[in-house]
Structure 1
Amino acid sequence: MPDIELTTAGDEKATKLHIMAIETCLLKARQDIDKEKVKKQLEIEHRIMEEQKVLYWLCEGFERFLRLQAYCPQLLFVKGDIDLSRPLVTIVGTRNPDEYGMEVSKRLAFALAKAKVTVVSGGALGIDTCAHEGALEAQGKTIAILGNGIARPHPAQNKELFERILGSGGALISEYPLLAKPFKWHFPERNRLLSAISDAVIVVQAGKKSGALITAQFAKRLGKPLFAVPADIWFEKSLGCLELLRDGAIALVHPKDLSVVESLAFLEKANVEWPSPRYRQFGTSNPWAKIGEAQEEAPVDSKVYNVLLRRPLAIDELVVSTGLSVPEIQAELFTLEVKGLVRRMPSAKFCASPHDPSKFFGKEDGVDD
């Protein structure tokens, strides 16, 4: 991959593009362009660039972005070490995955990072966060391409994650000025970069209207290998992936499936850590049960159980969500596990089990234990 053109806050050409980026953000937010206001913001952002070692990336000669044609970015902001000598794989999906989606995303990123592949994602909650976390657990490199300014971490919950990405030799990249807010239209725009920069794109879990499908659409346009993870055909967050598979995306059930991509062919013979198929261990919540119904029918009065009905959590996260002490939570978890209402996941998190599947199925549905 060719070298990229990085430069500092003092670069004249990049500074002009920086001003254009600030003005574009103001226009899209339907705000008037006040030259003094723009000048002041530029001065502040230049100071932040120097303090936080943020660089300009002039993109006009970067071949992968040139393939975006009219959508090619002119300038990006980069914080951290952007090493493009390794293969890059983008992993994306819903912000609200089930535990299956979370585990697949994390384990997939872990396996790829162990194989010296850089994991790229969007820094959002859900699948993105799991992908970054998996790469970091493998002590590998990961890049977050953001839909907001680098100096304005979003989501706020991931501030510490972004710091760990930088500390591990990864990078944060954004098309937007450092102080730009996370406007909703930024994220569809950002998704084209997630596709363009990588050797392959994987959609782990996505509903029918997921933004991850925009990333997939750009992958198709650019001729990038597009993979989708098969999943539960009755789960709403699977519908986007199922549609991609119908339309020709490659089914990904093992990291070695990526070896059909030329730059990732080495994965075929790589020692990749991946679970063997067996009885499903993730305890996925019943997709027919709405949270409200489940809470109304809950067989126990438990803060821990009610929180776990929403999403899987680790003990330290349960402390924050419930306000209970660690010993209190451990005692409740033990009771709930004995009753079969909670399961321990491989990731050290706990998830609620469907407490009475028969309430959501008719006799003809044939519920299996």
Structure 2
Amino acid sequence: MENEDELLSGLHLKRLPGIGNLLCKRLIERFGSAAAVLRAEPEAWAEVEGITERALAALRRNRSPRREIIQEIRAASRLGIRMLSLADADYPPLLREIPDPPPILYMRGDPAAMASFPVAVVGSRSPTRYGREMAQRLAADLARRGFAVVSGLALGIDTAAHEGALAAGGKTAAVLGSGLERIYPSQNAPLARRILAASGAIASEFEPEAGPEAWRFPVRNRVISGVSLGCVVVEAGARSGALITARLAAEQGREVFAVPGSVQSPRSAGTHRLIQQGAKLVQDVQDILEELGFAARPEAMAGSASPAADPPAPQAGTLPAEEQEVLAALGPYPLHIDELGRALGRDAGSLAALLLQLELKGLAVGHPGKYYTAAARPPGARP
């Protein structure tokens, strides 16, 4: 019931005039929840940074969610669409951290596809054969190592990235610039179904019936970069929309990668400019792993043995019961601390302390974005 109330309140806030994504997040952070925002006194609202008279007037007039919002939630449910508020445990954890996350995210599929080491792969809608092959290869290599590949379901590089992840048996997620009932481009509707069938996800911040208006795509791009640890640009011309995603990724504190092409190809002019501006040049997946901090044990997430140069780790049976419980929940594939906390019923503070102990003992590996895996064991080692 609490989740339903928060969803209702979040959707209500999102619709009020004068309250955009940035102000909505500030209000929720100030009062603790969307429901608490609506219960607060006007004097307290006025203290929030960036609030305008228009927004204050809208809040005063509209303290209670309207009936049509309740009907909208029910309609989405009938379509098999989940609506995730910022407070929802399944809301993508990295997206929640950006300054202007969508207050409500519409989703079909498995939310874990946007929480399992997501890396964005984007680029030209009309790539060369080289660009398409590089996108497929990088996406497949990332997927084999347990990363989720995020892209925008567009033709060209986006399609190649999704296809590469699927071919490798990995997870991929698509973020749309339209509603979930208006897959765009329509010729990629079969690809969207394959993504869902492979335990991936399709998400959008726009209402299910929203059409693919041009203005929605640059807005959508901040979600692609926001859910991800880093953004890989494969072939982008000087005016490519993928450059917007790269800029947003940098502003959000994400790593930016670029695949070089021919200096004579206009389709690589944008990626070359990114490299000149400091983006990491990518020749293969190892370049991405190094920048994200996985170079020490590049195969750990694939379950391979790491070099046995470290001192022997303690056996799990000699650990305190609480540490054994946490270690048992970890595996070769990355798990976010929020997911781990939900699975074990533990709060983030106590869980972080236990994970630190396991890291110090060489039994767990912490990765960027608060993800964890079990440490790879030498052949023959007992669990």
- Class of the TM-score when normalised by the shorter of the 2 chains: 0.5 to 0.7
The answer to whether the 8 Å contact 1:9/1:55 transfers is no
TM-score (norm 1): 0.62
The answer to whether the 8 Å contact 2:12/2:69 transfers is no
> Equivalences for 1:113-262 in 2 at 5 Å?
113-262=143-292
CA distance in 1: counterparts of 2:214 and 2:4, whole angstroms: 29
CA distance in 2: counterparts of 1:266 and 1:112, whole angstroms: 16
Instruction: Tell me the number of residue pairs that the alignment of Structure 1 and Structure 2 aligns.
Output: 253
Query: 1:78 deviation in Å?
Result: 1.1
- The residue aligned with 2:76 is 49
The answer to whether the 8 Å contact 1:9/1:49 transfers is no
Query: 1:9 deviation in Å?
Result: 10
Q: 1:13 aligns with which of 9, 15, 18?
A: 9
Q: Aligned AA for 1:132?
A: H
| 1:89–1:63 CA distance, 2 compared to 1 (3 A) | closer
- The residue aligned with 1:73 is 102
Q: Aligned AA for 2:284?
A: H
| 1:226–1:165 CA distance, 2 compared to 1 (3 A) | same
> Equivalences for 1:282-301 in 2 at 5 Å?
none
| 1:203–1:152 CA distance, 2 compared to 1 (3 A) | same
CA distance in 2: counterparts of 1:191 and 1:267, whole angstroms: 31
The answer to whether the 8 Å contact 2:11/2:103 transfers is no
The answer to whether the 8 Å contact 1:92/1:121 transfers is yes
Which is further off, 94-103 or 42-51? 42-51
CA distance in 1: counterparts of 2:295 and 2:140, whole angstroms: 18
CA distance in 2: counterparts of 1:175 and 1:166, whole angstroms: 18
Query: 1:66 deviation in Å?
Result: 4.9
Query: 1:266 deviation in Å?
Result: 6.3
User: What SS class does the counterpart of residue 83 from structure 2 fall into?
Assistant: strand
Unaligned runs of 5+ in 2: 21-65, 303-383
CA distance in 2: counterparts of 1:254 and 1:164, whole angstroms: 26
CA-to-aligned-CA distance 1:257-298 (integer Å, 9 cap, x gap): 1122445446634699xxxxxxxxxxxxxxxxxxxxxxxxxx
Unaligned runs of 5+ in 1: 1-5, 25-38, 273-369
- The residue aligned with 2:58 is none
TM-score (norm 2): 0.60
CA-to-aligned-CA distance 1:24-79 (integer Å, 9 cap, x gap): 9xxxxxxxxxxxxxx8985775454222321111126876335432x332111111
Query: 1:189 deviation in Å?
Result: 0.6
CA-to-aligned-CA distance 1:125-175 (integer Å, 9 cap, x gap): 110011011111111110101111011111100101111111110101101
- The residue aligned with 1:103 is 133
| Cα RMSD after superposing both structures | 3.0
Query: 1:114 deviation in Å?
Result: 1.4
Q: Aligned AA for 1:116?
A: G
- The residue aligned with 1:277 is none
User: What SS class does the counterpart of residue 182 from structure 2 fall into?
Assistant: coil
User: What SS class does the counterpart of residue 268 from structure 1 fall into?
Assistant: coil
Q: 2:111 aligns with which of 82, 85, 102?
A: 82
User: What SS class does the counterpart of residue 173 from structure 1 fall into?
Assistant: strand
Q: Aligned AA for 2:121?
A: I
The answer to whether the 8 Å contact 2:151/2:162 transfers is yes
Query: 1:16 deviation in Å?
Result: 1.7
